[in-house]
C-alpha cells in the first residue's frame, strides 16, 4: 500500500503501446510517490515517457496504449483498474486537472472564453446559469485577467499567448482539483511571460492548496518551481530527489549528462558537452541500464542487469550501479563537481 503522505502513488507501473503489431514498452515498472502539497517536476527528453506517465493518472492514454501492470493509488482507489469513462469523469478535472503545453491549440476557437470555463464548472460543481457564470468570472480574476466581465465574452483569438495560458489555467483550477498536472506549461511562451505564468501557478498552489506535477525538459523552469525532481529516461525514473540534491549532487550519469549540456553552463568558445547517440528504441527489450550505450563510463554490469534504486539519502535515490558498494569509483565530470559550490553557474 502507498505511503501515507502521498496523494498520488505510482507502484510498479507498466504502460505498453501497440503499434502495427509491435509492442512498445513506454513505461517500465516505475514507482513514484507524489506527496500532498508538494511541487514535483518530472524531467526528461521527448520520448522518455514523461507525458504518458502522467496522462495515465487521468485516463488519457491513446486508444492503442494500456496500463499492463502495477497500480496508481489515489485516495485509496486504484486508478489503474479504471476502465469506463464514467469512472474517469469523477477524477479527471475534478480531482486531477491538467494544463496543456500549447494554449494556441488547447482552447476551442469557436467558443467564448467564459463558456469554456463555465462548462467545466457546470460539469463538476453542479452550478447552473448565473452561478456558473459568476464562478467563471471569479476564476478569470483569480488568474490575473483584468476586466473579467468583459473578457468573459471574448474568443481565444482576442487573447495573447500568455493570457490564453492563464485562461487554460483558470479552466483547470475552476473545479478546485487537488492535483494539477502542468505539461510543459511555458514551452510555447516567451521568457518574460514564462516567468509570470510560473509565478501564477505558484501563487495558486499556495492559495488553493494544490499538489502540482510539472512535466518539462527545461531545467531552468525546474529549478524555479520544484520541491522534488524525478529524472526520467527511456520509460524509467533514473534519479529522484529534492531539488537541491539533484541539481547540486546528481548521481546518475544521465543526470550528469543532462546538466552538462546546458548552454548556461558552457564556456564561450569551447564546445558544449553533448550526449552521444540516441535514446534506446523501446520496441526492443532494454537490458540493464538503458543509458549505458550512451555512457562512455558505463560498467560491464550496466549492459546486463537493471540496477536497483540505490538510496543516497532518505529522500534521494538513483538507479545506477555506481552507487553499489562494490562499484569502482567514478567521479562525475569536473563541472558537475563544481555545482556543489555555488558559483558553478553563470549568473546573469
Nearer to another protein, 100 or 198 (CB): 198
Nearer to another protein, 117 or 282 (CB): 282
Nearer to another protein, 16 or 249 (CB): 249
How near is the Cβ of 38 to another protein at its closest, in Å? Answer: 14
Q: Which three cell numbers stand for residue 344?
A: 558553478
How near is the Cβ of 134 to another protein at its closest, in Å? Answer: 30
Gap between the Cα atoms of 49 and 43, Å rounded: 10
User: For the chain, where are the E strands, in sequence order?
Assistant: 6-19, 22-35, 39-43, 65-74, 77-78, 96-99, 179-183, 211-216, 228-233, 236-242, 310-313, 316-318
Question: Of 313, 330, 322, 306, whose CA–CA distance to 246 is shortest?
Answer: 313
How near is the Cβ of 14 to another protein at its closest, in Å? Answer: 25
Cβ(46)–Cβ(235) below 8 Å: no
How near is the Cβ of 276 to another protein at its closest, in Å? Answer: 9
- Residue 344: phi and psi, rounded to 5, are -70, -25
Question: Of 283, 234, 281, 278, whose CA–CA distance to 19 is shortest?
Answer: 283
Nearer to another protein, 87 or 218 (CB): 218
- Residue 211: phi and psi, rounded to 5, are -105, 125
Q: Which three cell numbers stand for residue 120?
A: 467545466
How near is the Cβ of 324 to another protein at its closest, in Å? Answer: 26
How near is the Cβ of 190 to another protein at its closest, in Å? Answer: 4
Question: Of 323, 326, 327, 322, whose CA–CA distance to 313 is shortest?
Answer: 323
Nearer to another protein, 53 or 247 (CB): 247
* Block residue for cell numbers 529516461: 233
Gap between the Cα atoms of 136 and 336, Å rounded: 47
List, edge to edge, every strand of the sheet that includes 6-19.
22-35, 6-19, 65-74, 77-78
Q: CA dist 41 to 50, 182, 191, 237, 271, Å?
A: 10, 9, 19, 12, 29
Nearer to another protein, 137 or 234 (CB): 234
How near is the Cβ of 337 to another protein at its closest, in Å? Answer: 15
Nearer to another protein, 87 or 227 (CB): 227
- List interacting residues with another protein (CB under 8 A): 45-46, 161, 190-196, 199, 217-224, 226, 243-244, 247-248, 257-259, 261-266, 268, 271-275, 278, 339, 342, 344-348
How near is the Cβ of 22 to another protein at its closest, in Å? Answer: 16
How near is the Cβ of 258 to another protein at its closest, in Å? Answer: 6
Nearer to another protein, 69 or 220 (CB): 220
- Compute the 3-state secondary structure of the chain and give helix, strand, coil in percent, each to the nearest 5: 35, 25, 40
Nearer to another protein, 1 or 267 (CB): 267
Amino acid at each position: 500500500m502507498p505511503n501515507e503522505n502521498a496523494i498520488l502513488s505510482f507502484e510498479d507501473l507498466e504502460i505498453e503501446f501497440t503499434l502495427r503489431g509491435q509492442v512498445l514498452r513506454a513505461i517500465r515498472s516505475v514507482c513514484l510517490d507524489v506527496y500532498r502539497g508538494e511541487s514535483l517536476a518530472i524531467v526528461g527528453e521527448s520520448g522518455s515517457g514523461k507525458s504518458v506517465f502522467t496522462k495515465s493518472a487521468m485516463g488519457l492514454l491513446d486508444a492503442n496504449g494500456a496500463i499492463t501492470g502495477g497500480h496508481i493509488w489515489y485516495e485509496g482507489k486504484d486508478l489503474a483498474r479504471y476502465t469506463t469513462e464514467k469512472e474517469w469523469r469523477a477524477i479527471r478535472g475534478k480531482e486531477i486537472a491538467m494544463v496543456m503545453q500549447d494554449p494556441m491549440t488547447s482552447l476551442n476557437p469557436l467558443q467564448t472564453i467564459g463558456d469554456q470555463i463555465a462548462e467545466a464548472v457546470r460539469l463538476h460543481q453542479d452550478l447552473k446559469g448565473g452561478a456558473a457564470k459568476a464562478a467563471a468570472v471569479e476564476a478569470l480574476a483569480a488568474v490575473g485577467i483584468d476586466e473579467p466581465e468583459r473578457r468573459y465574452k471574448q474568443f481565444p483569438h482576442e487573447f495573447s499567448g500568455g493570457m490564453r495560458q492563464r485562461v487554460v489555467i483558470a479552466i483547470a483550477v475552476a473545479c478546485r482539483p487537488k492535483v494539477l498536472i502542468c505539461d510543459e506549461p511555458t514551452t510555447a511562451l516567451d521568457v518574460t511571460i514564462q516567468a509570470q505564468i510560473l509565478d501564477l501557478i505558484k501563487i495558486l498552489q499556495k492559495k488553493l492548496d494544490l499538489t502540482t506535477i510539472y512535466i518539462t525538459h527545461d531545467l531552468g523552469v525546474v529549478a524555479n518551481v520544484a520541491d522534488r525532481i524525478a529524472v526520467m529516461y527511456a520509460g524509467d525514473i533514473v534519479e529522484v530527489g529534492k531539488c537541491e540534491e539533484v541539481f547540486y549532487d546528481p548521481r546518475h550519469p544521465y543526470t550528469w549528462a543532462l546538466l552538462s549540456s546546458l548552454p548556461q553552463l558552457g564556456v564561450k568558445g569551447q564546445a558544449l558537452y553533448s550526449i552521444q547517440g540516441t535514446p534506446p528504441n523501446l520496441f526492443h527489450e532494454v537490458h540493464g541500464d538503458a543509458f549505458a550505450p550512451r555512457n562512455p563510463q558505463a560498467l560491464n554490469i550496466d549492459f546486463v542487469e537493471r540496477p536497483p534504486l540505490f538510496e543516497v539519502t532518505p529522500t534521494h535515490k538513483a538507479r545506477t550501479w555506481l552507487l553499489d558498494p562494490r562499484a569502482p569509483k567514478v567521479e562525475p565530470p569536473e563541472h558537475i563537481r563544481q555545482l556543489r559550490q555555488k558559483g558553478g553557474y553563470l549568473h546573469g
